[in-house]
Amino acid sequence: MRAEALRVAIVGAGPGGLCLAQGLKKRGIRFDVFERDHAANGRTQGYRIRIDHTGQKALAACLPKASYALFQHTCATPAAGVNVLDAQLRDVSGRWVSAWRKTPSDADDADRCAHRQTMREVLMHGIEPNVQFGKALSHYEEGPDGVTLYFTDGSTRAADALIGADGIHSVVRRQRLPGHDPVDTGSICIYGKARPEQLVGAFGTEALHGKTSIVFADGMSVIMDAMSFDPSAFESSESSVRFTRVDDYFYWALMGTRAAFGLAGDESLSLGREDINTLVGQSAASWASPLRAVFECSDAGSMAIASVHQAASITSWEPNRVTLLGDAVHAMSPAGGLGANTALQDASVLAECLADACSDEASVLTGISRYEVAMRSYGANALAASESSARALFDVGGGA
C-alpha cells in the first residue's frame, strides 16, 4: 500500500495519539484524530509531566524541527538534581526509584519537565484541521477492507486502520482485547500545585527548590518539582502557536496505598476537592513544616485524586487493522514516570512501522504486526519498571 493511499483513524488526542498524528504527517500518511474532549483546552490536563530520553527521542522523531525546539523551550528550567529525603527533610541513603536517572550523561540527555497543556498545544500545532473534538467513539466494526468507527453523536467514519490511543478506560481495547482491562493496584495518587510566590523564603522551603525532591514517608511518597518557565518561549514571534498562559508553580504528587491514607475500597473516587485537601493535611500532619507549607499553599481547587491502575501483562494476539498504544494497552503506575514516555515511544515506532510497510508495498497489517512485536517487548519492560518503582516508593524500607 502506498503512503498516500492509507488513511489512519486515531482515537484520543493525548500525548500518544497526537505524537502518532505528527509522525504520520511527517511521513505523508493521511490521518484523522477523534477526541471526546470538547476543545483542546476543554479540561485540566494535569500539571507537570517528566519527559525522559525515550520520550524526547520519540518527540524529536515525530515533530517538525521547529515544533520540537518549541517543546524544549517551553519546558521548565531543568532541576539541578534530585533530593532524596524523609518526612523530616533528612537526607535518605539507600532508597531510590530505579526507573529514574540520578545524573544525565550530558545536558542534552537530561529529563525535561513539560506542562501538560503546553505539550498538548505543541503536539497539536500544524495538525489542527485533522483533529476533531467532541467526538467520542462508541464502538467500531472491522471488515475485510477497512474499519468503520461509530461515534456517540451518531456519526460514522471509515478508515484503513484504527489506532486506539484512548487511555486507561479505552473503548477500543474493550472491544479489541476483551478481558484485558488494567487492574486496580490498591494505591492512589493525589496531585496539586502550590503558588511559588507564597512559598519562597516564607516557610524554609528553600531545600525543596532547584532540585526535584522525593520524600519517603511511611507507606507513601511525595514527588516535588518547582516549575519555572521562560516567559519568552510562550511569546516567540517565530511560533504561530497561541499558548494558554502558564504561571510558574510548585508541583507535587503524593502516592501511596489506600491503607496508608486510611481509605477503604473505592472511597477515594467519591472525594470532593475539600475532602482531598483535608486528607492531604491529615497525611502530612507530622511532617516537617516546609512540606506542610507546600500543601497549605496549594488551592484545594488545584488538587485531584486518581486510583492507580496497571495492565496485568501484554499478551500476544493476532494482528488486525485495529491496534492500541499508550495507556490503552499498557497502563502503568505513575510511580516510574514512564506512562507518557512509553506512549510517545509507541507513537514513534508505529509511525515508522506503517511508513516502512508502505515503502515495502506491504499491507497495513504488516506494519501493525511489526509495531506490536516491538511494543510488547519494551512495553513489558516499562510495566515491570513501573511496578518496581511503586514498590520502591510505597514500601517502608524497600528499594528498587
Ligand X SMILES: Cc1cc2nc3c(=O)[nH]c(=O)nc-3n(C[C@H](O)[C@H](O)[C@H](O)COP(=O)(O)OP(=O)(O)OC[C@H]3O[C@@H](n4cnc5c(N)ncnc54)[C@H](O)[C@@H]3O)c2cc1C
Give the binding site for ligand X (CB under 6 A).
Answer: 11-17, 34-37, 46, 49-50, 136-137, 165-167, 171, 189, 191, 253, 306, 326-328, 334, 337-341, 343
Cell of 56: 524526547
Q: 3-class SS at 214?
A: strand
Closest to ligand X by CB, 17 vs 126, is: 17
Query: How far is the CA of 57 from the CAs of 51, 96, 118, 165, 344, in angstroms?
Result: 10, 25, 18, 19, 9
Least Å from the CB of residue 1 to ligand X? 26
Distance separating alpha carbons of residues 365 and 322, to the nearest angstrom: 9
Least Å from the CB of residue 332 to ligand X? 7
Q: What are phi and psi of 126, to 5 degrees?
A: 90, -10
Closest to ligand X by CB, 29 vs 325, is: 325
Q: 3-class SS at 358?
A: helix
Least Å from the CB of residue 5 to ligand X? 25
Least Å from the CB of residue 37 to ligand X? 5
Closest to ligand X by CB, 263 vs 358, is: 263
Q: What are phi and psi of 183, to 5 degrees?
A: -100, 150
**Placement of cell 499478551 in the chain:** 315
Closest to ligand X by CB, 349 vs 358, is: 349
Least Å from the CB of residue 36 to ligand X? 4
Cell of 217: 514517608
Least Å from the CB of residue 99 to ligand X? 10
Q: Do β-strands 212-217 and 82-86 pair in parallel, antiparallel, or remain unpaired?
A: parallel
Closest to ligand X by CB, 83 vs 310, is: 310
Q: What are phi and psi of 25, to 5 degrees?
A: -60, -45
Closest to ligand X by CB, 223 vs 358, is: 223
